Amino acid sequence: MNTLTAILFALPLLAVPIPFLYARSLSVAKKQELLYKLFCSPLGYYMTLFARDPDAVPHRQVRSVNKKDGQVKVVPVPYGEDNYGYIIVNDAVAVVVDPGGIKIFPGKGVKTTLIYLIVDAHRIQQVLQAEAPNVQLNAILVTHKHWDHTAGTASLKSKYKNVKIYGSTMDFSDSWVNWWWKVDHFVNDGETIVVGDMRFHVIATPCHTRGSIMYLLEPRHGDTVGQPRQRSIINSSDDEDDAPVAPHTAVEDEPSLFTGDTLFIGGCGKYFEGDAVDMYSVIEKLRPLLSAQTLVWPGHEYAEANLAFARELEPGNMTLQLKHQEAKDATYHRYATIPSTWSDESSYNPYLRIDTRARRGELWRSVLRLAEYEDRKRVEASVRDKLGDKTESEVAVIIGLLRILKDGWKGTSA
């Protein structure tokens, strides 16, 4: 990168403080709306530069495990403050899920008149080079448009010219920002992406963003899993630092669900572009699609905070108490808490434990007891507008109040 290019690349940094100064004059709601729109714009990339130390060690301790020939493997890649990207390796092909990550060159301790701010899937490339040096990167799967999940797509595209980048039609096809993201294959609910011997089923889960999707990787051997109505199959089978490497987790027999920011261990993502009814619909959609042993791979390490919040609502849940202690121990030792399973999540994730059978349960009662009267009336009115007086409305209201309580909970991180 020459000096002129570096200067032009860094010029947008000068604009970063302007919207923050303007936002100070707005109401809380308008301020949040403005900042969210800015975060989804190219300026959002520069905003993320100040939110994380790109030269920091991975947020969770990682280790390298020898591969077994013939198995599909998921390689978690911790980056940023708490993000996870994933590399899925099968024989001679690889797929990357959510390649975020930023690096600053020339790095700390080097005297220079310029600092080059580079969008770079740094951690992802480290792991690819260390774990799969002879494997071809065939595809990048993006769960949603937020920069901490997409910042590295362009750099990977420049390095791997033939890689195909998949994202939802809703989030990417009509966005002028896509010239930066480089998503070139737009997918919709019910489609299947084929990469080598791997099949990824696209599940639309609009709430965190309108175009949020999950990718369900079916097991290499055994029954096919995924959408009961698959509309099309997309074939993608065409032709520096010594950082530690993430552990392999073999997934030969279990389906794997890459959830992005829609579902976390012990919680779910903020409803930035959706509402309680949307999240209710997502959960009800997933229930018949997923087997109990489906592995859940989220986009962030939020387990300890999510489970601490859930434990306050359901202190009598012994499974939840044990899982929370396990997450605390993992945080202390900097171990990753991923993956979880759908069965485990159903036993302690409050969003998955709200249904009509839970009306008299401790969790349901706690939500109603703690929710503010005005919040309850507002959510009830919003849900009623969409669902009327159906039985499902009660569940959606609790899911909406649960999110409000979590957003206001001190120490919230999801």
Q: What is the mean pLDDT of the chain?
A: 80
Output the pLDDT for position 46.
Answer: 64
Strand partners, 297: 258
Residue 1 has pLDDT above 70, yes or no: no
Between 85 and 229, where is the model more confident? 85
pLDDT digits (tens, 9 = 90+) for 220-240: 654 444 433 333 455 555 443
| Average pLDDT of the residues in 179-201 | 93
Output the pLDDT for position 118.
Answer: 38
Residue 244 has pLDDT above 70, yes or no: no
Output the pLDDT for position 40.
Answer: 73
Cα torsion 155, 157, 158, 162 to 10°: value is: 160
Alpha carbons 117 and 9: distance in angstroms, whole number? 8
Q: How confident is the model at residue 51 (pLDDT cuts 50, 70, 90)?
A: low
| Average pLDDT of the residues in 118-122 | 51
Alpha carbons 198 and 228: distance in angstroms, whole number? 18
| Average pLDDT of the residues in 152-180 | 89
List strand residue ranges (DSSP E) for 269-320, in order: 295-298
Long-range contacts made by residues 271-274, C-beta under 8 angstroms, separation at least 24?
271/207, 271/208, 271/403, 272/36, 272/208, 272/209, 273/206, 273/207, 273/208, 273/209, 273/210, 274/206, 274/207, 274/208, 274/209, 274/210
Alpha carbons 396 and 373: distance in angstroms, whole number? 16
pLDDT digits (tens, 9 = 90+) for 314-372: 999 999 999 999 999 999 999 999 999 999 999 999 999 998 677 668 999 999 999 99
Alpha carbons 146 and 376: distance in angstroms, whole number? 30
Q: What percentage of residues in the chain have a pLDDT greater than 70?
A: 70
Alpha carbons 297 and 299: distance in angstroms, whole number? 7
Q: How, if at all, do strands 295-298 and 256-260 pair?
A: parallel
Residue 111 has pLDDT above 70, yes or no: no
pLDDT digits (tens, 9 = 90+) for 91-105: 788 999 999 865 444
User: What is the rounded end-to-end Cα distance, in angstroms, of the chain?
Assistant: 37
Long-range contacts made by residues 356-365, C-beta under 8 angstroms, separation at least 24?
356/391, 356/394, 356/395, 359/394, 362/313, 362/314, 362/315, 362/316, 362/317, 363/313, 363/314, 363/317, 364/398
DSSP string, 210-232: TT-EEEEEPPSSSS--S-SS---
Q: Please list the helix, strand and coil fractions of the chain in percent, rounded to the nearest 5, in that order.
A: 40, 20, 40
Residue 50 has pLDDT above 70, yes or no: no
The Cα-based distances of 369 to 11, 150, 172, 376, 412 in angstroms read 51, 39, 41, 10, 20
Contact, 116 vs 74, CB < 8 A? no
Output the pLDDT for position 106.
Answer: 40
The Cα-based distances of 216 to 144, 205, 243, 251, 269 in angstroms read 15, 12, 29, 12, 18
Give pTM, 2 decimals.
0.83
Output the pLDDT for position 178.
Answer: 84
